Chain A
């Protein structure tokens, strides 16, 4: 350890031999050295003092050409221009570790001519940059960020995320005003109530009323604006919602209290106005907090599609826009690239990742004459292929348009609280009107009758009702979050509690998704380090499985092999100390003139040294722990469990049998899966779909609840409603449990608030409610609801 040295730039430790010596400094790579010199030339070397003992990622120095950032299409999409003629762009900056990095980026950008402002958010690494486009171009800005060792890519800030943040901020503002005013009104109200019992001059009362009135006004008209807006939309769509009740209740009370203040007789209720608005506003805010801040899933797919492909034209390779590629054109794909057109291979061969279609991660070998499908990924294939469809009709575009319809078709299940509040609101408004009429007709003065009528609305005013659902769901969401279950939207908890069909994907959901060694047969003893060295650099899932198995032995070490060669669709060959070593499938063994007699249902990996097979490994995609328990528990609750898989019938049958599921469908394409869900919907079933891959996205988007494994593809995570971070089936079961608990809690809370109303409303109609009782009972009911929710949370935390 003694001769390890820290790199002057990134502070990572390396062996002295591999470091670049430069004066008295040491650097781990050219990138670090370059950045260091750049910073000291620019006079920014105080960065290292700020950095302290933090480490950085070494700059890679290899980026694609930045000039495409200057294309008009790009500017059109990401850059906005303000009235002063300055351009704005939102960037995500990669590689920010500490506040020193933020400082460096801002400082370096500020030093550039033409940049007006660069503001980087440390918490989420997002930057907003303002610049004068006549002086400096966006590509130069990006180049600067790259030059100092970070990377930046733009994102479209105009989509929902910013919108959601704006809404949240709006609520913060309104709530601050409401809470401030309520707190002040409360202590004035204490004086009022004390005066009510001990006697107080009318002058004093009026002073207090005026003070309360001053505080209540911004609450009603600024904070309460949301309810007036909601009420307006409610009336427009002819739905009597809670907002109408709150708005009428609060404004009637407000007007009445002003009237009382002016005639200097009776009790004003400004405290009720502020209390109601504040409580219900808090309830609404909790709902906004737990709303889905979904980024645009379709946008995400679009981002993954390059805008150009390489096409052979006149025996030259030229890049060509997707829309300009015609049927019959020859397209070039090199390893690591995505196939964007359906077609047929004309030259070359190699393996493809077709998991977006089948969900199976096993690479598929394709050679001349075979077809390639858009949406698949070339793993090691460098091929030319002939497009036989244009982009609009390709499988990939088809998938995107199907996804669009699937998202639209997603059924909306009405929430209990919404339905209830509609009935509740209309009942209360009717009751209050009847009370007013009855009192007036029975010979009371107009004022008294109006007051009693209003008191019905005020007392019924649904503080507890408004809090019932949001508080309960918030408890549910936080219980889930602690266990690595992320519900994107609160409403999903309620829907999930009502589910009667669970659809599971096989690979990656019920099974681990990658082959694991289940059996090792050693025919002749050999040095396992050779095998380890052979398979270590391969990305093939079978090889990875063998590596994982060998790694269990901690003393394993890597040797250096000669003539290492990966043979597509069969395995790996290499030379070690003059002997030929082979590792791969049966084909590889037979091709090399060896014969072996070994039968198994599992995937086999053969290892041979000098033309004799020394070991055979059996690998299988194992079933996750607790799969059977989950299925048993859910079946007991009457939930019907189904497996949908892209895999063959035999494997599907084996897995279904092992976990105890009777219903399974095999060889399902993404469309088949989504059609199956649609069929379930037409039978009035509420469906949860659990999956992980691109092949599941249609079904995930269409199911009532789509649950995705955290390790699933980005797009799948995006279209789903619930994410299981630890990929385990125990979390899946927990998710069901949490949703049921939460739903129970919602019912209890609604019960509490309804019981409260059943007691107080008759009292109010009879005219027995004095202001003190009203204020206390209102707070008590809200406290009961919150307390009840906390109780459930405590109970869960104890388990």
Chain B
């Protein structure tokens, strides 16, 4: 087995691991572990209504942002 195979495997696996780590760090920063219950419940119960609700909320935010004029 050539050295480059080892090198490639090492870099590939470390890279994959790093991707997972970055995802994990993002989740912590995003507050997804602050409230275990809610995110689990979200995964269990959220349906079309909840998604629509989230989209509407986002729209509302954009609209109000447009109307806002800093003094």
Contacts and interface: CB of A to CB of B under 8 A. Distances in A.
Nearest to A191: B6
Interface string B1-25: 0010011001100100100010011
B47 to A, nearest CB: 10
Contacts, number: 76
Nearest 8 Cβ contacts at the A-B interface: A85-B68, A122-B37, A132-B64, A121-B35, A211-B10, A99-B41, A116-B61, A207-B7
Contact of A173 (B29, B34, B37, B60): B29
25 contacts: A84-B65, A85-B65, A85-B68, A86-B64, A86-B68, A99-B38, A110-B53, A110-B56, A114-B64, A116-B60, A117-B61, A120-B38, A122-B37, A134-B67, A135-B64, A169-B29, A172-B28, A173-B25, A176-B28, A177-B25, A201-B3, A204-B6, A207-B3, A207-B7, A211-B14
B59 to A, nearest CB: 11
Given A85-B70, A99-B37, A99-B41, A117 B24 contact: no
Nearest to A114: B64
B44 to A, nearest CB: 9
A176 B24 CA distance: 8
A74 interface: no
Q: Main SS of chain A's interface residues?
A: helix
A215 interface: yes
Contacts of A114: 64
A396 to B, nearest CB: 38
B64 A203 contact: no
Contacts of B41: 99, 122
B11 A211 contact: yes
A215 B14 contact: yes
Contacts of A135: 64
Interface residue range, chain B: 20 to 34
Contacts of B35: 121-123
Given A135-B64, A203-B3, A207-B7, A116 B57 contact: yes
Contacts of A85: 65, 68, 70
Given A180-B21, A211-B11, A215-B14, A50 B60 contact: no
Contact of A180 (B3, B17, B38, B45): B17
A214 interface: yes
Given A110-B53, A173-B25, A184 B14 contact: yes
B34 A121 contact: yes
A188 interface: yes
A297 B61 CA distance: 37
Contacts of B17: 180, 184
A516 to B, nearest CB: 42
A176 B25 contact: yes
Please classify the interface of chain B as helix (H, G, I), strand (E, B), loop, or mixed, using the class held by over half of its residues: helix
Contacts of B70: 85
A679 interface: no
A184 B28 CA distance: 21
A123 B34 CA distance: 9
A102 interface: yes
Interface size class of A (residues with CB under 8 A): 35 or more
Contacts of B7: 207, 211
Contacts of B45: 50, 99
A169 B11 CA distance: 29
B21 A173 contact: no
Interface string A223-266: 00000000000000000000000000000000000000000000
A132 B38 contact: no
B11 to A, nearest CB: 7
A107 B47 CA distance: 14
B39 to A, nearest CB: 10
A204 B65 contact: no
Contacts of A99: 37-38, 41, 45
Contact of B64 (A116, A172, A184): A116
Nearest to B53: A110
Interface string B30-56: 000111111001000100000001001
Given A85-B70, A99-B38, A176 B21 contact: yes
Interface in A158-173: 169, 172-173
Nearest to A204: B3
A52 to B, nearest CB: 12
Contacts of B25: 173, 176-177
B50 to A, nearest CB: 9
Contact of A110 (B34, B38, B57): B57
Interface in A116-133: 116-117, 120-123, 132
Given A116-B57, A184-B14, A214-B14, A132 B68 contact: yes
A241 B63 CA distance: 54
A115 B36 CA distance: 25
**Which of B10, B11, B25, B57 has the most CB atoms of chain A within a 10 A radius of its CB?**
B10
A201 B64 CA distance: 66
B68 A177 contact: no
A207 B65 contact: no
Contacts of A115: 60
A135 B61 CA distance: 12
A95 B53 CA distance: 24
A207 B28 contact: no
A122 B45 CA distance: 15
B21 A177 contact: yes
Contacts of A184: 14, 17
Nearest to A201: B3
